[in-house]
Amino acid sequence: MLEVKGLGKEFGGLKAIDGVSFEMRKNTITGLIGPNGAGKTTLFNTIAGVYAPTRGEILFKGEHIEGLQPHRIFHKGLVRTFQIPRPFPDMTVLENLMVVPAGQTGERFWNNWFRPGKVNEEERALHDKACEVAEFLNLTRVLNLQAKNLSGGQQKLVEIGRALMADPELILLDEPGAGVNPSLLAEIIDRIRELHARGITFLLIEHNMDMVMNLCDPILVMANGRLLMEGSAAEVRTDSRVLDAYLGGEPEVSEAS
């Protein structure tokens, strides 16, 4: 589903990503871990089109997407949620879900003018879809609350909901477990599993190791802008290079990775 080849991204002289290559099969939940500053967020941003890579290739379903504008990538079904939940704080949960899909007929002046019936129909379909997404994420109760009044965990769920509104095939999920209380964390894990069972592929950055080890296979480990290793939870847990990287040592990174 996703192929990253020799990817590099530099900021000035700093190699935030330095020759990263990996492949992701369809319908996996792949974890991306690594110590602070390893390059995980930069990798996400480069895949999602926020940054153009300095070098390398990114293929989504066999199609080159490196350097494309974020909205073009979004519309291909590759959707990124943000590290800090960023729903519009003064809008309700329902509104936050309904604003996601772009190119609605209602956004075009001419269609509004000439085709009000069509606009109403689409608005209703969008509303129904938002309600279904909210129900799936157990957000129905808070549908009419302003997003700023939700808990951190509920905001994460809204962020996932907003990704779902875009009918994604691949979701890049940024720290779904950050700042979430344990019961809501279990619910988020459960929802991700369910979406995975329905055919959605995930790549997720997460610092919560329990969550990663529980949910992800395979796990990619980054350090110093490079891919240190890829393996199962058991392999990652017992690999001394991973331990070294987290302890701030100088991890040995093979050129091949």
Ligand X SMILES: Nc1ncnc2c1ncn2[C@@H]1O[C@H](COP(=O)(O)OP(=O)(O)OP(=O)(O)O)[C@@H](O)[C@H]1O
**Residues at the interface with ligand X (CB under 6 A):** 11, 14, 16, 34, 36-42
The dihedral formed by the CA atoms of 27, 207, 191 and 93, expressed in degrees to the nearest 10: -120
Nearest approach, Cβ of residue 7 and ligand X (Å): 12
Nearest approach, Cβ of residue 208 and ligand X (Å): 12
Question: Residue 8 or residue 77: which is nearer to ligand X going by CB?
Answer: 8
Q: Helix count (H) and strand count (E) of the chain?
A: 10, 10
Buried b / exposed e along 187-215 (16+ C-beta atoms within 10 A): bbbebbeebbeeebbbbbbbebbebbbeb
Question: Residue 14 or residue 234: which is nearer to ligand X going by CB?
Answer: 14
Question: Residue 34 or residue 153: which is nearer to ligand X going by CB?
Answer: 34
**CB-based contact 123:106 (threshold 8 Å):** yes
Give the C-alpha separation, 12 to 218, whole Å. 32
The dihedral formed by the CA atoms of 119, 117, 136 and 75, expressed in degrees to the nearest 10: -30
Residue 144 corresponds to which amino acid?
N
Nearest approach, Cβ of residue 242 and ligand X (Å): 14
Nearest approach, Cβ of residue 30 and ligand X (Å): 15
Nearest approach, Cβ of residue 202 and ligand X (Å): 17
Question: Residue 161 or residue 176: which is nearer to ligand X going by CB?
Answer: 176
Question: Residue 24 or residue 43: which is nearer to ligand X going by CB?
Answer: 43
Give the C-alpha separation, 152 to 26, whole Å. 30
